[in-house]
Amino acid sequence: MTTPTDTCTPALLDRLAAAERLWLFLDYDGTLADFAATPEYVEPDPDVVGLVARLAASERIRVAVISGRRLDHVQKLLPVPGILLAGAYGVELQTPTGDRIDRVPYSTIRPTLDLIKPRWEKLIAGREGFFLEDKGWALALHARFADDVTAQRVLVAANRIVSQTPSLKTGRFRLLGGHKFMEIGPSLGNKGLAVEYILENAPWPDALPVYLGDDDKDEEAFRVVKGRGGVAIVIANAPRATAADCRLASPQAARWWLERVLARFEET
């Protein structure tokens, strides 16, 4: 199901097939699966689960899924043994053997979020089109269904609330922006830092790191993977500025491409 907008060449597949091993880093929403109607939707997609399970079963492939969602949601979406799962952009991890790692003490993060949460709740109370997602490690304010003018006004006010919170000056937190979106969470919640952490703590000699992702948080990881001689692929339906090597048009195209990688590995 290749489309004219896909720019990943057969030569790239050859490069992957020639690798002894692949360390495969995958984003979830917008990369493996289409965006859910709401962030609270956590029904596993059988196509995604099946594909990830088959990738993970290859002795030459290790899989890590790195999501901005909370880890318990990622666990529900991908009930696949033997893979590494990272939630909150890599703050909370589940290792392939099922151990849980929190890279920051929860107690250093949550009290600040508990100061911000009621103020954000009050800000959006009674307004159409807003949704406050409590990820435990982070708070995300979604304004996707609000009108543009109101969304802009509310996000400016939400930003002001954050900047008035004294612990924000410790460097322990980062504020993420986006289209009709704002999120406050730990500074270590960074997919680039997550990939570095995984590669350093779970080294796999001669493995080629490959990262597939769709948004600006993934771009941070693209740069890390590229810096280590790896391959970055952006999932986007139109050309855009990116550090990635090439582009696949949709999660369907990404899944199809991963099937081809698997097929090449199985034949060699």
Which residues of this chain interact with Mg ion, rule CB under 5 A? 27, 29-30, 214
User: What are the structure tokens assigned to 135, written together?
Assistant: 């990820």
Helices and strands per DSSP (H, E), number in the chain: 8, 12
Nearer to Mg ion, 66 or 113 (CB): 66
Nearer to Mg ion, 92 or 215 (CB): 215
**Closest approach of Mg ion to the CB of residue 220, in Å:** 12
21's CB contacts (< 8 A; 6+ apart) are 60, 61, 62, 204, 206, 207, 208
Nearer to Mg ion, 29 or 220 (CB): 29
**Closest approach of Mg ion to the CB of residue 31, in Å:** 5
Cβ-count burial 99-123 (b if 16+ within 10 Å, e if not): eeeebbeeeebeebbebbeeebeeb
Nearer to Mg ion, 8 or 26 (CB): 26
What single-letter amino acid sits at 141? L
How far is it, in rounded angstroms, from Cα 107 to Cα 90? 17
Q: Are 74 and 29 in contact (CB under 8 A)?
A: no
Nearer to Mg ion, 27 or 92 (CB): 27
**Closest approach of Mg ion to the CB of residue 213, in Å:** 6
Nearer to Mg ion, 58 or 75 (CB): 75
**Closest approach of Mg ion to the CB of residue 56, in Å:** 20
Among 176, 182, 214, which residue's Cα sits nearest to residue 28?
A: 214
How far is it, in rounded angstroms, from Cα 185 to Cα 191? 13
Taking CB atoms, the residue at the shortest distance from Mg ion is 30
**Closest approach of Mg ion to the CB of residue 217, in Å:** 7
**Closest approach of Mg ion to the CB of residue 238, in Å:** 16
How far is it, in rounded angstroms, from Cα 189 to Cα 138? 9
